[in-house]
Structures are given as structure tokens and as C-alpha cells.
Structure 1
Amino acid sequence: MSRRTAPDQPAGSPPRTRPLRADAERNRQRIIAAAQEVFARRGLEVTLDDIAHHAGVGVGTVYRRFADREALIEAVFDNEIQRVVALAEQALAHENAWEGLVQFLTVSGADFAEDRGLREILLEGAHSQNRVAAAREHLTPAFSALIARAQQEGSLRNDIEATDLPLLQLMIGATAHHTRAVTPDLWQRYLTLVLDGLRTQRHGPSPLPHRALTQEEFDQAVPKTLPPRSMADRTGDR
């Protein structure tokens, strides 16, 4: 007996993907929301068991919706990465080139400070390499345009290149990571210092939006022991 096809489906066409049942879709969204929270707080090295526990579902439910952690990472960060791209495009549309650049670095800085997973995937290149490469393909021209506009305006120093921006963001993100438990807004102090160093003209140093760490806070935020130096490092000192 031959298999019958649906009246509106041509013979030989691939089977249609059925939409998820309402309860299955609710579980999927619940898992994504839980993963967003866990990735933001703990980074991308968490396990699917961790995410299942936070979502209040069994790990088998997670695997039914997502084949592996990479699939879940892409589902979580696809919109977030596109939002960073949109921030750069909005900054380009700002009538004042310098203010547009400041707007982008400030808003994206807040995103990277609050979301460890986003910082790892976009600035450190952790996981989902194809997705990161695609995002950078969009961001690199935007960075170049932001810099060119501000330099043509005369507000940004002429020796800044497109590759400088993600490294500056990485520096600010590292500060946010190390000091988040001690004083989560400290990164704004260092962004202000960076911006003062980028601009060509200013009447004087900008007021810093946050005080410096006390020695006790510094000791809490910065590891007291450094990793052992390699033999090559020691040899290079001679």
C-alpha cells in the first residue's frame, strides 16, 4: 500500500516540520530564559544539567529541544548579537559622530558588564565560531565607519583603528568581570578615562563617575597570586 500525501502537499515533497505543541514551546522558552540568566552570571562553561536545574526541568527535556550546548548558545545569543550590531548602526545614525561613538561604547559596555556570556562569545570568541564570525563581519565595517566619521569630524584622534574598539571593550569587560562582586559599576570609571584618551579636544579631565577601589576592595577583586611564569618568559628577561 502506497503512502498517501496530504491534499495540499505535492507528492515527493519533504515532510513538513510540525509546530511544537504548546507545552513543548513553553518548555523551550523556559529553557532559553534560564540559559540567558545562567550564561549571563556564570559564562558559557556551564553544563546543560546546570541550565536544566535552573529551568526546573529534566536534562532530557533540554536535549529534546537542543541537540547540544552549542545549539542552545546560538538560540540564546542570536538576538543579543544582532542587538549589538543594531547599537552600532544606531550610533552611525547619530547626528554627532563623537556622541554616537560614546553612545555605542557606553551602552555596549553596560551589556558586556552585565552579561558574561555575551562578552565571552563576542569579545573573547568563545564557542559558536560561525556565529561569532558572522557578527564580526557586520561589526567590523560599523566600527570602521564610526571611527572614520569621528575622525573626519575632528573629535577622535587620527591614529585609532577599527581593531582598537573591540580591544578597548575587552579591557573594560575584564574590569567589569573582576570587580562585579565588589562594585559592579566600576567599569564606568575606566570607560570615562578611555574616552578622555580617545578624544582630541576637551576643556579638562572629565569627572569620573565612580570612585576608585579601596585597597581592601582591590585585594578582593584582583587575584593575589599570579600564574607561574613559563621558562620562555624567564629566559626573555635575560
Structure 2
Amino acid sequence: MGEPEEPGQSVRPRRKDAARNREALIAAGRELFDAGGLSPTLDNVARRAGVGVGTAYRHFANKYELADAVLADSFDAMLAEAERAAAHRDALAGLAAFFDAVLRPQAAKRALLDFLRSSPEGPLLPDVRTRVEACIERLLERGQAQGTIRAEITSTDIGVLMSLMTTLIDTYGRAAPDLWRRFVPLLLDGLRSGVPTPLPVPPLGRGEFLALVNGEGD
């Protein structure tokens, strides 16, 4: 008779296999959803990931649950990149990197973001918004202290500009997926200190801005 199996010896490999399968499904889902929106089925994703269909359904009840996981993974990567941008010593360079970090995945994942907008009560949005706002506040504070960003610019101004860029991506992204990149330098030039044209109306307060973003100001 062989040695008795230690408790947990077979459990750990199974857990590692399960973790690998989940990562493979998320990677395959990201690839297929980016290419074809939400049209691929969970069976399609399983085949691309090289796992059995039963394995896919043990991890995700349906493709929408997988889409949530793909978005969560993508948001983690986006937020890490945005926070690196917010730590840049040169605030204007950091703001350029921040715009790129936040807008690039929006342009690449339009179908998934449409799905997220249709389910606004998901757990992702509040944490994402809080961390993005913190990045903006850090960049504005540093840039205004450095004298490179206009003193009257507020975080809600940046939020409105981000909403405008999202609308641009939604409107033109299918036909011209990189068009948004043309307008980032224009935004940055408008935020630089020394611009001679004063802003004619005051900024939105944070509460006003959030109400409008959430559709409560109509």
C-alpha cells in the first residue's frame, strides 16, 4: 500500500487548475468580446480557452457573468495605470497619461461598457469612480501648485471633459476607433495655465455633476 494522501495534497492542485481555468476563460472572453461584442456564447469562450463547456459553466452561470469578470479584470488594469499616471511628477504629462489610461479601454471595449451601463447597480462603479476621482484630484493639485494647470479648473470640469470624450467614442468609435486621440492634446492645451480666455460660467458642484452623470438632473 502507498503512503496515505495528506489532507489538502489533492485539493491544492485542483484549486490551481480551477484558478488557471478561470484565468483562461477571462482571457478568452476578453479577446472574443473585444472582437465581437457580446455575441459570442459561453460555449464559444470555452472552446477558445481550451476548457470543457462544463468547466466554463462551473465558473460562470452565463456570458453576462463572464462579461462582469472581464470588466472587473480590465478595470483593475485601467485603475493601476491611471494611478501610475497620477503619481507622475509632471502633472500635465501625468494628465495626458491619465486620459490615455481611462479612454483607451473605453474605445476598445464599447460593447462591454454598454452592458455595464445597462446594469448600473453593479459593484464596480462606485469603487472605480472613487479611485478615478482621487487620481484627478492629485493631478490637479500638483499641476496647480506647479503653475502648469489653470487655477480655476476643478475635478468636475475634468469629469465633464471625460464624459464628452466618452460621447465622442460612442458616436464615432465604430467607424474611427482612434479619433479620440486627436482631441486629447486639444483638451490638454485648454487646461494649461496662461490660456487667455476666461471661463464664462462657474463649474458644476460635485453633487450636481454626480446627479447629471446618474441621469437625475433631467
- Under a length normalisation based on structure 1, what TM-score does the superposition of the two structures give? 0.61
Q: CA deviation at 1:166?
A: 4.0
The residue type paired with residue 173 of structure 2 is R
Q: CA deviation at 1:28?
A: 3.3
* Distance in 2 (alpha carbons) for counterparts of 1:156 and 1:126: 36
Q: Which is higher, the Rg of structure 1 or of structure 2?
A: 1
Going from structure 1 to structure 2, the CA distance change for 1:172 and 1:50 (only over 3 Å counts) comes to farther
Q: Which residue of 2 aligns with 1:37?
A: 31
* Distance in 2 (alpha carbons) for counterparts of 1:40 and 1:73: 11
Does the aligned pair in 1 maintain the 2:34–2:108 contact within 8 Å? Answer: yes
Q: CA deviation at 1:36?
A: 0.4
- DSSP 3-state at the match of 1:169: helix
Q: CA deviation at 1:95?
A: 1.7
The residue type paired with residue 57 of structure 2 is Y
Going from structure 1 to structure 2, the CA distance change for 1:79 and 1:30 (only over 3 Å counts) comes to closer
Q: CA deviation at 1:151?
A: 2.0
The residue type paired with residue 174 of structure 1 is T
Q: Which residue of 2 aligns with 1:142?
A: 135
- DSSP 3-state at the match of 2:154: coil
Question: Does structure 1 residue 164 correspond to structure 2 residue 175?
Answer: no
Q: Which residue of 2 aligns with 1:151?
A: 144
* Distance in 1 (alpha carbons) for counterparts of 2:53 and 2:159: 36
Q: CA deviation at 1:105?
A: 0.9
* Distance in 1 (alpha carbons) for counterparts of 2:32 and 2:154: 34
**Which has the larger helix fraction?**
2
Does the aligned pair in 2 maintain the 1:98–1:156 contact within 8 Å? Answer: yes
1:99-144 deviations in Å (ceiling 9; x for gaps): 111121123322322222565578x484672122222232222221
The residue type paired with residue 178 of structure 1 is T
Question: Does structure 1 residue 200 correspond to structure 2 residue 211?
Answer: no
The residue type paired with residue 169 of structure 1 is M
* Distance in 2 (alpha carbons) for counterparts of 1:173 and 1:41: 19
* Distance in 2 (alpha carbons) for counterparts of 1:159 and 1:202: 11
Q: CA deviation at 1:190?
A: 2.0
* Distance in 1 (alpha carbons) for counterparts of 2:93 and 2:132: 18
Pairing partner for 1:91 from 74, 85, 88? 85
The residue type paired with residue 108 of structure 2 is E
Moved more, 55-64 or 102-111: 55-64
Moved more, 88-97 or 112-121: 112-121
Does the aligned pair in 2 maintain the 1:176–1:187 contact within 8 Å? Answer: yes
Q: CA deviation at 1:175?
A: 2.2
- DSSP 3-state at the match of 1:129: coil
Does the aligned pair in 2 maintain the 1:88–1:143 contact within 8 Å? Answer: no
Going from structure 1 to structure 2, the CA distance change for 1:158 and 1:102 (only over 3 Å counts) comes to same
Q: Which residue of 2 aligns with 1:185?
A: 178
The residue type paired with residue 108 of structure 1 is V
- Under a length normalisation based on structure 2, what TM-score does the superposition of the two structures give? 0.66
Going from structure 1 to structure 2, the CA distance change for 1:156 and 1:121 (only over 3 Å counts) comes to farther
Q: Which runs of 5+ in 2 are unaligned?
A: 197-218
CA RMSD of aligned residues (A): 3.7
Q: Which residue of 2 aligns with 1:105?
A: 99
Question: Does structure 1 residue 175 correspond to structure 2 residue 168?
Answer: yes
Does the aligned pair in 1 maintain the 2:82–2:101 contact within 8 Å? Answer: no
* Distance in 2 (alpha carbons) for counterparts of 1:115 and 1:18: 35
Q: CA deviation at 1:67?
A: 3.2
The residue type paired with residue 40 of structure 1 is D
Q: Which runs of 5+ in 1 are unaligned?
A: 1-5, 10-15, 204-238
1:61-120 deviations in Å (ceiling 9; x for gaps): 421122344542343233322222222322232121111111211233223222225655
